[in-house]
Amino acid sequence: MTERSIPQHVAIIMDGNGRWAQARGKKRTSGHKVGVEKARETVEIAGKLGVESLTLFAFSSENWQRPEEEVSFLMELFVVALKREVKMLNKHGVRLRFLGDTTAFNKKLQQSIAEAEELTANNDKLRLNVAANYGGRWDIVNSVNQFITEHQGKKAITEAELEANLSTSQLPNLDLLIRTGGETRISNFLIWQAAYAELFFTDVLWPDFGQAEFEKAVESYSSRQRRFGKTGEQVDAK
């Protein structure tokens, strides 16, 4: 058996919390609570597998449109989860970073985010990136705007220059993008970064995600030949 290759950077769209709860006659918010537990478990699995960078889509720019009650529940849940988990993450060498426009969050959450990022800034075992108030189009526009500010008068931007200001610029290239919950779209997640990523869609709802499904995604990634536009023969000859 050939050795499986471990993706350096995995991103996950954690979908299906609401449906998971509703199927059990519970409120959608109880699905989010289990969702947080699953996120924690997934960080552990990623670390054990040897993944270098894990990016979780926690809250999209579009999620503000959910009922007010659900949005405030999520904000409070993030604060509590951060406070509860950050020490453990730090102990295990996890470097936590938030991707997205976090200035839109309430002061309490912004403060917890800043403290967690600062505390874990020098860790290097696993990079955990939480995309919050994140949108792929926002990321691209934000990068271009930074470029314009820094290079007044320049008439064009290169791919490398655009990439340099994306929120993921310090991270390895995205290798594998997983979406749970049965939908087969990227939903404005890492749209630039996903250009050459392998995509893995599963019907499993996020609260049911675990080691077995994560391993399935890695197996699937490992079995595919990544050609980056070249022919199969060119890749084999390398």
Minimum distance from residue 115 beta carbon to ligand FPP (Å): 15
Sheet holding 176-179, edge to edge: 94-99, 126-134, 53-60, 9-13, 176-179, 198-201
x/- track of binding to ligand FPP for residues 109-148 (CB under 6 A): ---------------------x------------------
Measured from each CB, the residue nearest to ligand FPP is: 18
19 binds ligand FPP (CB under 6 A): yes
15 noted as active-site residue:
yes
How far is Cα 198 from Cα 113, in angstroms, rounded to an integer? 30
**Active-site residue (options: 17, 63, 145, 236):** 63
How far is Cα 174 from Cα 172, in angstroms, rounded to an integer? 6
39 binds ligand FPP (CB under 6 A): yes
Angle of helix 211-223 versus helix 28-49 axis, rounded to 10: 50
209 binds ligand FPP (CB under 6 A): no
**Cβ-based burial of 149 (10 A; exposed 0-12, middle 13-18, buried ≥19):** exposed
Evaluate whether 127 touches 97 at the Cβ level (below 8 Å).
Answer: yes
18 binds ligand FPP (CB under 6 A): yes
How far is Cα 17 from Cα 181, in angstroms, rounded to an integer? 8
Of the candidate spans 57-65, 95-103, 171-179, 218-226, the one that interacts with ligand FPP by CB under 6 A turns out to be 57-65
36 binds ligand FPP (CB under 6 A): yes
Q: Which of 109, 116, 181, 213 binds ligand FPP (CB under 6 A)?
A: 181
Evaluate whether 49 touches 178 at the Cβ level (below 8 Å).
Answer: no
Q: Which of 58, 89, 176, 197 binds ligand FPP (CB under 6 A)?
A: 58
Contacting positions for ligand FPP (CB under 6 A): 14-19, 32, 35-36, 39, 56, 58-59, 63, 74, 78, 81, 130, 181, 206
